[in-house]
């Protein structure tokens, strides 16, 4: 019996990945020199296809890193001289803030109770803020912010940079990248790939800010600063030997998604999410953690349970269904279920039947 992974990352492999890996082996991709013409072709194709799939403006930069946590660090190093502002509503948005403190910046934050959102109409951003940081889809709690609430801050503060963690909602979230300066994700969630590769999307305005700080003689990081990343990106290369297999597989999955159609993928995700929430709303043994239906993530379903979550997870595992438990302090009282493009309707129905 083959397992179905509803874990939040790594998660279920996207259909076809096994064949892509075999093809990579047959083409000697794992031994490929990344500065060779073929290596550069993989980089260029992955970049161009991502821009098409996600509707990213042509003049935006795409950098490949090792993890989303690294992306947080690079954003704060390159674009914040002193002051950032963070909206915290879970463990990963708090990680963004903590990274700023570790880098000796002077971050401020607004914190919402777990499972809840913010009253953005009452928020005043300090005038000296350089970057406003959001976690659009909080993996630890299943709260998803409305992108329009994020865009509002760009409209109010066009000179400030907007940074958004889109790790758990991409590629099924509709985003207007012209209203976002910095965004990032890892490939082991929505793209259904092995971990070890992350994507950082940088606007011209954000890149200009990094160069301004660099020209002032300030530290914007050592090796992986935006200037160096862009220098190599212009030649369709990374700075050091990258995860070539990861890049190759990402391009294959993105190409397949383009053939399926992003609209179809989003509609399928919505349908599966509705099926899950309808079940959990109607069964008294379970309760969605996020009470406001407008804030419920469609890709990260977090559920309060009456019995120990580990017992539920272990029972489901005997039938080949692997789910996640709650995050940190909520580990024993919650289960977390991924609903990514790699999960099909049949998988969701099997999960519900077993629950």
What the block records as the tokens of 293 is 């239906």
CA distance 204 to 11: 33
Of all residues in the chain, the percent with pLDDT exceeding 70 is 100
At residue 266, φ and ψ (nearest 5 deg) are: -65, -45
65-79 tens-digit pLDDT: 999 999 999 999 999
pLDDT at position 178: 97
pTM over 0.95: yes
pLDDT bin (cut points 50, 70, 90) of residue 224 is: confident
- Those residues whose C-beta lies under 8 Å from the C-beta of residue 306, and which sit 6 or more positions away, are 285, 286
Q: Which domains are delineated in the chain?
A: 4-11+261-354 (3.90.1150.10), 17-258 (3.40.640.10)
DSSP category for residue 296: B
322-350 tens-digit pLDDT: 999 999 999 999 999 999 999 999 999 99
pLDDT bin (cut points 50, 70, 90) of residue 109 is: very high
If you average pLDDT over residues 26-35, what whole number do you get?
94
Does position 222 have pLDDT exceeding 90, yes or no? no
pLDDT bin (cut points 50, 70, 90) of residue 25 is: very high
Of all residues in the chain, the percent with pLDDT exceeding 90 is 97
Does position 1 have pLDDT exceeding 80, yes or no? no
115-144 tens-digit pLDDT: 999 999 999 999 999 999 999 999 999 999
pLDDT at position 165: 98
pLDDT at position 69: 96
228-253 tens-digit pLDDT: 999 999 999 998 889 999 999 999 99
pLDDT at position 354: 97
pLDDT at position 38: 94
Q: How crowded is residue 144: how many other Cβ atoms within 10 Å of its Cβ?
A: 22
| Residue 338 to residues 50, 110, 132, 152, 318, Cα–Cα distance (Å) | 22, 27, 27, 29, 19
CA distance 71 to 54: 18
Residue 170 sits at the vertex; the CA angle it makes with 166 and 171, to the nearest 5 degrees, is 155
3-class secondary structure per residue, 131-158: EEEEECEECCCCEECCHHHHHHHHHHCC
């Amino acid at each position: 019996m083959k397992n179905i992974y509803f874990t939040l990352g790594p998660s279920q492999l996207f259909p076809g990945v096994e064949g892509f890996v075999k093809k990579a082996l047959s083409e000697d991709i794992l031994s490929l020199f990344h500065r060779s013409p073929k290596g550069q072709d993989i980089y260029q194709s992955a970049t161009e296809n991502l821009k098409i799939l996600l509707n990213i403006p042509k003049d935006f930069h795409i950098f490949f890193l090792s993890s989303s946590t690294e992306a947080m660090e690079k954003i704060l190093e390159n674009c914040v001289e002193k002051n950032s502002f963070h909206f915290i509503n879970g463990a990963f948005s708090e990680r963004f803030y903590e990274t700023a403190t570790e880098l000796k910046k002077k971050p401020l934050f607004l914190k919402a109770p777990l499972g809840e959102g913010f009253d953005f109409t009452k928020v005043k951003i300090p005038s000296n803020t350089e970057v406003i940081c959001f976690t659009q889809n909080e993996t630890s709690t299943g709260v998803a912010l409305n992108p329009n609430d994020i865009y509002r801050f760009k409209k109010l503060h066009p000179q400030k940079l907007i940074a958004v963690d889109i790790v758990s909602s991409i590629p099924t979230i509709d985003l207007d990248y012209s209203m976002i300066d910095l965004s990032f994700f890892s490939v082991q969630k929505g793209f259904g790939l092995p971990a070890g590769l992350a994507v950082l999307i940088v606007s011209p305005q954000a890149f200009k800010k990094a160069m301004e700080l660099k020209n002032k003689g300030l530290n914007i990081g050592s090796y992986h600063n935006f200037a160096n990343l862009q220098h190599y990106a212009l030649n369709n290369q990374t700075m050091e030997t990258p995860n070539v297999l990861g890049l190759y597989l990402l391009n294959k999955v993105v190409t397949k998604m383009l053939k399926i159609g992003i609209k179809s993928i989003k509609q399928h995700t919505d349908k599966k999410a509705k099926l899950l929430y309808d079940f959990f709303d109607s069964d008294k043994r379970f309760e969605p953690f996020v009470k406001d239906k407008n804030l419920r993530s469609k890709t990260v379903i977090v559920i309060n349970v009456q019995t120990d979550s580990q017992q539920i997870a272990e029972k489901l595992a005997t039938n080949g269904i692997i789910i996640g438990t709650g995050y940190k302090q909520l580990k024993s009282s919650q289960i977390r279920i991924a609903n990514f493009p790699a999960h099909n309707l049949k998988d969701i129905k099997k999960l519900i039947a077993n629950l």
